Structure 1
Amino acid sequence: MPTDTSGFSQFTAAQIAVALQSMAAWSDVANITFVRVSDAGSQYSNNATMLFGNYAEGQSGAAAFAYLPGGMPGATGTGSAAGDVWINSSLSYNANPVLYGYGTQTLLHEIGHAIGLSHPAAYNASAGVNITYDQHAIYFEDSRQYTVMSYFSETNTGAVFNNRYASAPLMDDIAAAQRLYGANTTTRTGDTVYGFNSNAGQPWFQAGTAASPLIFAVWDAGGVDTFDFSGYAMPQVIDLRQGAFSNVGGMVGNVSIAIGVTIENAIGGTGADTIRGNSADNTITGNGGADVIDGGLGTDTVVFSGPRAN
């Protein structure tokens, strides 16, 4: 382990599960594959190109750190340290990471470094340094609305996640990872539903009850796809255009669509929703409430829930 840390421990089963989930999230969007390595008779190994471990002290109390892979500009570490991920397990959110928790985003963020992504600007956590959006961000989108690699709250760019954090790459992360590795063109090529009744296969795309939070950016490689937000009762803004954000389930700017993705259909909730289509042939279902629907371009179908006279 790095010489400026102490208190090494192996990842727990919970941490391993979230690490595998986080690597799968990066593989979903980019043409990168992770293969788990284990030594004979053990679930652990020291012989992988990307190693994970816990520390309890050091790094000026940082929550975690990672080294860029070898051959990348920046802090690649020395020797075998390149690409390794270190987590401060003395912090409860890191010891027990959960969906939409800060510990899960921390692990996702550090894996981002390990595959070659930097922070959006030239800042880094260090003792006695107060890093702020106003002083250190050099472009508007440097917030956790757009990228898990940012240090700054989504509220800086107008979003509201209600003290939750993304558990998968966001819009700018997808673009950056695809620039390095290319896009994964095999991800969800069938007809995929996101939200309620989801068949997308990842937990951050699934809503089970009216209280279920959603925070995600969609990368989808094909099929006729649907945003189903039918289980929510509050007013929502649902936007099917690529590069756009939607306000879903009581949050603001919490659902987005990556550049190059087409989502064809939308199902609103029982509140007064505003739904905007795209240039594809959309089917839009208002699903109750005093909705405002703009199909955009294309030959669109709007499904009404009440009598035609209404």
Structure 2
Amino acid sequence: MSLASGVNAIDSLVYGSWTGQAGAPATVTYQFLTSVPNGASSEDRAGFKPMTDVQKQATLSALALWAAVANITFVEVSSDANIRLGTNNQGDTSSGYSYLPEPGVTQVELYLNNTGSYNSNYTPGTFGPSVLLHEIGHTLGLKHPGDYNSTGEAVDGPFLPTATDNLDYTQMSYRQSMTNRGNYPVTPMLYDIQAIQYLYGANMSYHAGDDVYKFTNGQMSSCIWDAGGYNTFDFSDCTGLTTIDLHAGAFSSTRLAIGNVSIAYNVTIKGVITGAGGSTVRLNDAGDTVFGGAGADLVYVGAGDDAVNGGDGFDTASFTGAYASYKIVRSGDSVVVTGQGKDTLSGVETLQFADRTVNVADIVQVVAGGTGGNDRFVAQAGSESFDGGAGVDTVVYGGARSAYTVSTVSSGATLQVVDSGGTDTLTSIERVQFADGALAFDTSGLAGEAYKLYRAAFNRTPDDGGLGYWISQMDKGVALRDVARSFIASNEFKGLYGAAPTDAAFVDLLYQNILHRAPDAAGAAYWVGVLGQGQPREDTLAFFSEGKENTDAVATLIANGISYTPWLA
């Protein structure tokens, strides 16, 4: 019966099994040899010695690691075992060798090289434990994943590609870890577990409850098999940059880019605790929970309902889609983002989307009634209603100005903003901001004052950038007379009025530029007299700007909003 699965990662490791069929549990006996067995080859006999007590204990530990992941029951017997273990003199040709189970074979042997000091040192992460895991893997039916062998004999394919033929993926490889060289893994690895479970089935009683896996900077390379329960990865003792990926078959790093923790296939990890050095976390789709540490964490949310507490540090939650495809609601420190599952975030400073990054501080919960201050709302997909109440309130839209139709209703107190996704109703909203500009509807307020002053001082429609700057200054408390003083000091003003006009000339030009007529005699005399008595020219300019004639002249120009570019400084 063929054991081929059609999966390269499995078939590159599978050679045979003790049952002869895939997925069948097995009871495998073993014995520690005290003498060379009958029928042993001259190679097997060379320098034979029984295993030492240290080697026996290490063997039991290695058998337990294989039994933890697969439905294999190991039973020690004194004779006629399936697996017979000893040592011999292999010189410098190999660290150990084993025979593999085949149809009709009831016994195989495993020999460690008794001339190598590594086969007496079983400190985790050293070569010795890895040799035992490798050789026991052979006795269970696993082959080399590449065309190599200590004897130089050819190995039957298929083979793993070069990128995965290494100890990061399988103990059966001759090749070192790609990123953690010089360190040997302490468990069966990702492809080992997949292949051995294909042969014998998975051990579904191993760590079936709720488990916490705690890692440190110096974590030995390992693969996590866990049969069930609510399981958590705890990286809180890791002090540097870490990467954490909760997907089955993925690798995590307890320090920079070493990939020393992997998750076996069909394992679900749902909790993460990050450390102080900052983590990049990739969640699976099971609905995960993240507790952030003191570092700056970047969390890629999954398709489930995730809960992310960023903790200290400047933390970011990243979503796969465009901003407009999500609904975002903020309440205090909590933000709920719906569209890729329903994700609840707290202690997270920014939200990253495929097309933009949004500061959580800029998002205000959409409610019927804003605060008494200057509220900033971020519009979402669909139809929404915003009521800013008192203050200068802004609604932010993600698209370009041309994508929206903005109109006033209810005598200008209410706005409607329409796009392909719906119609929003804006009540007591003074500013509407787009990706490429903004409209101000406080035409009787600061934005209107700034617009009229441009017309008064320069006899022109304001440019969007300049107007945006002065609106921002007035929003911060700069008075209209102070803006007028700056205008009078500008080169543009001097070009229109002269570098040092007399009071009479100044008044005449105010009439011409603002009111577009010559001053009447009484008016001219009045204003020249006021200036002569010491009234600053900026006060006079501001008075003309706010006068009825200038206000009436611009009323129709700004009735549907004042175009400007928000000043970002």
TM-score, normalised to structure 1, is: 0.81
Alignment partner of 1:195 is 2:253: no
Aligned pair partner of 1:164 in 179, 183, 193: 183
Aligned pair partner of 1:62 in 84, 87, 94: 94
Amino acid at match of 2:174: Y
Counterpart of 2:272 in 1: which secondary structure? Answer: strand
Which residue of the partner structure matches residue 143 of structure 2?
Answer: 118
Alignment partner of 1:10 is 2:50: yes
Asked whether the 8 Å contact 1:22–1:167 carries over to 2, the reply is: no
Alpha-carbon spacing, 1:57–1:150, altered in 2? closer, same or farther (3 Å) = closer
Amino acid at match of 1:106: V
Q: Which runs of 5+ in 1 are unaligned?
A: 38-44, 197-206
Which residue of the partner structure matches residue 255 of structure 1?
Answer: 261
1:124 Cα deviation after fit: 0.9
Which residue of the partner structure matches residue 33 of structure 1?
Answer: 73
Whole-Å separation in 1 of the counterparts to 2:128 and 2:257:
20
Q: How many residues align?
A: 273
TM-score, normalised to structure 2, is: 0.45
Partner deviation per Cα, 1:123-142 (whole Å, 9 max, x = no partner):
21136x9x9xxxx8655321
1:240 Cα deviation after fit: 0.3
Which residue of the partner structure matches residue 302 of structure 1?
Answer: 308
Asked whether the 8 Å contact 2:287–2:302 carries over to 1, the reply is: no
Which residue of the partner structure matches residue 238 of structure 2?
Answer: 232
Which residue of the partner structure matches residue 201 of structure 1?
Answer: none
Counterpart of 2:131 in 1: which secondary structure? Answer: helix
Which residue of the partner structure matches residue 42 of structure 1?
Answer: none
1:46 Cα deviation after fit: 4.0
1:256 Cα deviation after fit: 0.9
Q: Which runs of 5+ in 2 are unaligned?
A: 1-35, 314-346, 350-569
Whole-Å separation in 2 of the counterparts to 1:36 and 1:269:
43
Whole-Å separation in 2 of the counterparts to 1:145 and 1:214:
11
1:250 Cα deviation after fit: 4.5
Amino acid at match of 1:3: S
Whole-Å separation in 1 of the counterparts to 2:170 and 2:89:
27
Amino acid at match of 1:9: K
Partner deviation per Cα, 1:72-105 (whole Å, 9 max, x = no partner):
8xxx7xxx7x422100021111122221111110
Partner deviation per Cα, 1:226-245 (whole Å, 9 max, x = no partner):
11111111101100011111
Asked whether the 8 Å contact 1:162–1:251 carries over to 2, the reply is: no
Asked whether the 8 Å contact 2:189–2:223 carries over to 1, the reply is: yes
1:213 Cα deviation after fit: 2.2
Which residue of the partner structure matches residue 109 of structure 1?
Answer: 134
What is the correspondence of 1:139-178 to structure 2 with a 5 Å cutoff?
A: 140-155=163-178, 160-178=179-197
Which residue of the partner structure matches residue 243 of structure 1?
Answer: 249
Counterpart of 1:109 in 2: which secondary structure? Answer: helix
Alpha-carbon spacing, 1:116–1:309, altered in 2? closer, same or farther (3 Å) = closer
1:162 Cα deviation after fit: 4.4
Whole-Å separation in 2 of the counterparts to 1:27 and 1:100:
20
Whole-Å separation in 2 of the counterparts to 1:70 and 1:241:
35
Q: Sequence identity, in percent? A: 39
Which residue of the partner structure matches residue 198 of structure 2?
Answer: 179
Alpha-carbon spacing, 1:288–1:92, altered in 2? closer, same or farther (3 Å) = same
Amino acid at match of 1:219: W
- For the aligned residue pairs, the C-alpha RMSD in angstroms reads 2.4
Counterpart of 1:51 in 2: which secondary structure? Answer: strand
Higher mean alpha-carbon deviation, 174-183 vs 93-102, is at 93-102
What is the correspondence of 1:284-299 to structure 2 with a 5 Å cutoff?
A: 284-299=290-305
Partner deviation per Cα, 1:53-87 (whole Å, 9 max, x = no partner):
111245x6211000002428xxx7xxx7x422100
Partner deviation per Cα, 1:213-261 (whole Å, 9 max, x = no partner):
2311111111000111111111011000111111123551111111111
Amino acid at match of 1:121: G
Asked whether the 8 Å contact 1:238–1:273 carries over to 2, the reply is: yes
Alpha-carbon spacing, 1:168–1:246, altered in 2? closer, same or farther (3 Å) = same
Whole-Å separation in 1 of the counterparts to 2:256 and 2:214:
14
1:306 Cα deviation after fit: 2.9
Alpha-carbon spacing, 1:57–1:258, altered in 2? closer, same or farther (3 Å) = closer
Alpha-carbon spacing, 1:250–1:240, altered in 2? closer, same or farther (3 Å) = same
Q: Runs in 1 of length 4+ with deviation above 4 angstroms?
A: 136-139, 307-310
Counterpart of 2:73 in 1: which secondary structure? Answer: coil
Alignment partner of 1:216 is 2:222: yes
Counterpart of 1:61 in 2: which secondary structure? Answer: coil
Alignment partner of 1:83 is 2:108: yes
Amino acid at match of 2:188: P
Whole-Å separation in 1 of the counterparts to 2:287 and 2:164:
30
Asked whether the 8 Å contact 2:210–2:230 carries over to 1, the reply is: yes
Alpha-carbon spacing, 1:137–1:260, altered in 2? closer, same or farther (3 Å) = closer
Q: Which one has more relative contact order, counting CA pairs under 8 Å at least 6 apart?
A: 1
1:278 Cα deviation after fit: 0.7
Structure having the larger proportion of residues in helix = 2
Whole-Å separation in 1 of the counterparts to 2:48 and 2:272:
48
